[in-house]
Amino acid sequence: MTETVLSSATKEVVIGFDRPFVIIGERINPTGRKKLAEEMKAGNFETVIADAIAQVEAGAQMLDVNAGIPLADEPAILRHTIELVQSITDVPLSIDSSIVEALEAGLSVYRGKALVNSVTGEDEQMERVLPLVAKYGAAVVAISNDETGISEDPDVRFEVARKIVSRAADYGIPKEDIVVDPLVMPIGAMGTAGRQVFQLVRRLKEELGVNSTCGASNVSFGLPNRPALNAAFLPMAIASGLTSAITSPLHDEVRFAIWAADVMNGNDGNCADWIARNSESGEAAQAGRRGGREGRRRTASA
């Protein structure tokens, strides 16, 4: 089966159908985070550092890094952020920008094999991004929309994905280095959004033989209790063939839903990771309860 190999200077991560699901941490992104955008623009990266460490500690195998800030020098900020994050963690990174100059700035300092996020099916963008991916020996996220926009028809989105895979081959980029994003729409606005993704990722696996990813939290946009919806969506998408997602590992229900899906798909040998993770969380919870009882006893005796 197809395996997409990504790396930092010291660590390798493999996205594949017979592999554990890959969580790509989404938090290093100033979009919709006004405070973070202001900090990064001003050269303050304390939140970036905290988010990077927290996500890796929570179980993210990769991190998505975005520096899309209006009226800022995005190439310079993204380049610095890539260098900074690689200095504090060893996980591979997804370099996330719609600006080609920013992508190249990030790739120029990246140590390892990065995931470029992203290229669409627009001819002009493919002509600019795909040579860059080939030049740096990276892998790339292929977004399944083109000049006509985002189709509500999953068959149309599939054909856009096929087009990108074909065009990438012209630049010497194998399908193993293409991770298709089927585009997750908000379920609150489109009731068939979940079924569309499940149908599409199944075809991506069975017909194109490519790995896939998505911005998983998009599915719950605008609705209450978003982590619960994301935690329901992801195992269903995984069962259909989704092999990675850009999401937050900081929500317990999302993280454990993914790990449970690995168990059910047979991608956690002998349930070893599940047992270890639950033993650790169980011990931590027991320690917390013991600490609480000790504190109450000390307060009572005082």
The pLDDT tens digits of the residues spanning 171-222 come to: 999 999 999 999 999 999 999 999 999 999 999 999 999 999 999 999 999 9
Q: Percentage of the chain surpassing pLDDT 70?
A: 92
d(CA 97, CA 108): 14
Encode pLDDT of 225-265 as tens digits.
999 999 999 999 999 999 999 999 999 999 999 999 999 99
pLDDT at position 286: 47
For residue range 157-181, list pLDDT tens digits in order: 999 999 999 999 999 999 999 999 9
The angle at the Cα of 66, spanning 89 to 45, to the nearest 5 degrees, equals 60
What sign has the CA pseudo-torsion 13, 15, 20, 26?
Answer: positive
CATH of the domain at 43: 3.20.20.20
Confidence band for 73, pLDDT divided at 50, 70 and 90: very high
Whether residues 56 and 76 share a domain: the answer is yes
* 106 and 173 share one domain: yes
Residue 298 sits in which domain range? 276-302
Distance of alpha carbon 75 from its chain centroid, rounded? 21
User: If we measure between CA atoms, which residue out of 228, 233, 243, 225 comes closest to residue 196?
Assistant: 233
Q: What is the pLDDT of residue 298?
A: 46
Q: How many domains does the chain have?
A: 2
Let me know whether 280 and 251 are in one domain: no
Specify whether 184 is located in the same domain as 293: no
Statement to judge: residues 7 and 116 lie in one domain: yes
**Could you tell me the two tokens for 301?**
């005796």
In terms of domains, do 27 and 159 share one? yes
- Do 286 and 177 belong to one domain? no
Asked if 155 and 194 sit in the same domain, the reply is: yes
